Amino acid sequence: MTQVVHTIDELQALTRNFNGPVVLVPTMGALHAGHLSLVAKAQEIPDAMVIVSIFVNPLQFAAGEDLDAYPRTLDKDVEKLKTAGVPYVFAPTANEMYAAGPRTIIHPGPAGSILEGKTRPTHFAGVLTVVHKLFHITGATHAVFGEKDYQQLLLIKQMVTDLNLNITIIAAPTVREDSGLALSSRNQYLSKEQTQLAPTIYRALHAGAQHDTAAAVQRAVTETLTAHPEIVVDYVAVTSPELTDPVSGENRLLIAARVGETRLIDNMAIELA
C-alpha cells in the first residue's frame, strides 16, 4: 500500500519514531524508468523506509522557463510507485514548502556558476534550497540522485560536506533508451523526428570517449554534433570529476544542447592520458 502525504507535519509524524534508515528519492514527477531505477537503488538498503518526493520546485525555474508546462502526472506517478512497492510519497504544494515565500536561499558557490549555472544562473540555488529542505523535512539518512544530472549531483555532495549534513548521498547510473538517449521527463516534448535526432548527443559522447586527450575528445564531439545543424549546442565540456580542469585518469565529458525547443543534457565518464 502506498500512502500519499501532502503536509510536512503528517510526514514527520510518520518518520519521527522510525528507527531504521530513511531513504529519500527526490523527484519532480513525470516518472519514467530512470526514476524507478533510483527507487530500486534506495530499496537495496536493508530495513529502510523509502520516501519518494514529487514536487515541481518553482525556485529552480527562471522566468521564461517551462515551469507552467512541466508535466504534472501525480496519479500516474503514484500508480508506478505503488507497483514498485514504495510505501510513502511526499507530494506537497508550493505553499506548503515555502509558507513564507522563498526567503532563505542556499548559494551553490563557484561550481554552480559554470555549465548549467552559466545558462541558468538561479537554477542550482533553487535545487540546493529545496533538497536541503527535503532532507530536513524527511529526516533522511540517505538520498539517491542520478548521474544524468551530474553537476547537480556534485553540488548536492558539496552542500552535504560544507554544511556538515549527516546524510549519505548515493549516485545511480544514467538509464538510457535503446538508442542511447538518456531518459528525461523532458523527452516527451520531442516530436517523432526530434526523438530520432536526439540520440546524436549520446553518439557524440561515445565518439569523444574513444580519445585520451581533452583536445581530441572535444574535437570528436564537436564533429559529431556539427554534422547535425538542427542540434543547437550550448556547451561541450571536458572536466575533472569535480568540474575543474581535466586531469590524468578519470574525467567527465558533459554536453547540453537543444533539439527543437527542448534542452537536453547528458554526460559520461572518460579516461584521459
Domain ranges of the chain: 3-172, 187-268
Question: What's at 100, amino acid-wise?
Answer: A
Q: In what helix (H) or strand (E) does residue 160 lie, and over which residues does it extend?
A: helix 150-162
Question: Which whole-number Å values give the CA distances from 181 to 95, 112, 171, 186, 237, in the listed order?
Answer: 35, 25, 19, 12, 18
Residue given cell 542540434 in the structure block: 231
% of residues, the chain, pLDDT over 70:
100
State the average pLDDT over residues 40-60: 97
32 is in an annotated binding site: yes
> Cell 501532502 belongs to which residue?
6
CATH number given to 3-172: 3.40.50.620
pLDDT at 118: 96
Residue 107 annotated to the active site: no
Flag whether 72 is marked binding: no
Nearest Cα residue to 144 out of 110, 183, 124, 171: 171
The DSSP-derived string for 225-257 is: HHT-TTEEEEEEEEE-TTSSS--SEEEEEEEEE
88-90: strand order across its sheet: 3-5, 88-90, 49-54, 22-27, 142-146, 168-172
Q: What mean pLDDT is predicted for residues 101-115?
A: 96
Q: Is 228 annotated as a binding residue?
A: no
Flag whether 261 is marked binding: no
**Triad 15, 136, 118: Cα angle to 5°:** 140
CA distance 161 to 164: 5
Q: Is 30 annotated as a binding residue?
A: yes
Marked catalytic residue, from 35, 123, 132, 211: 35
Evaluate if residue 24 carries a pLDDT over 90.
yes
Instruction: Report the C-alpha gap between 98 and 137 in whole angstroms.
Output: 12
What is the structure's pLDDT at 262? 95
pLDDT tens for each residue of 227-272: 999 999 999 999 999 999 999 999 999 999 999 999 999 999 999 9
Question: Is there a contact between 124 and 13 (Cβ–Cβ < 8 Å)?
Answer: no
Classify domain 187-268 at the CATH topology level: Pantoate--beta-alanine Ligase; Chain: A,domain 2 (3.30.1300)
Model confidence at 65: pLDDT above 90: no
pTM recorded for the entire structure: 0.95
Block residue for cell numbers 522566468: 63
- Give the model's pLDDT for residue 66: 83
Q: What percent of the chain has pLDDT over 90?
A: 95
Which residues are paired to 271 by β-bridges? 250
CA 43 to chain centre: 19
Lowest mean pLDDT, pick from 34-38, 68-72, 193-197, 254-258:
68-72
Q: How far apart are CA 130 and CA 119, in angstroms?
A: 20
Residue 69, pLDDT > 90, answer no
Q: Is 91 annotated as a binding residue?
A: no
Please, which pLDDT band fits residue 63 given cuts at 50, 70 and 90?
A: confident
94: pLDDT strictly greater than 90: yes
For 148-189, the pLDDT digits (tens) are 999 999 999 999 999 999 999 999 999 999 999 999 999 999
What is the rounded average pLDDT of the residues 107-132?
97
Work out the number of other CB atoms within 10 angstroms of the CB of residue 137: 20
Tell me how many degrees the CA angle 42-189-116 measures, rounded to the nearest 5. 65
User: 74 to each of 4, 12, 28, 85, 194, how far by Cα in Å?
Assistant: 10, 21, 10, 16, 26
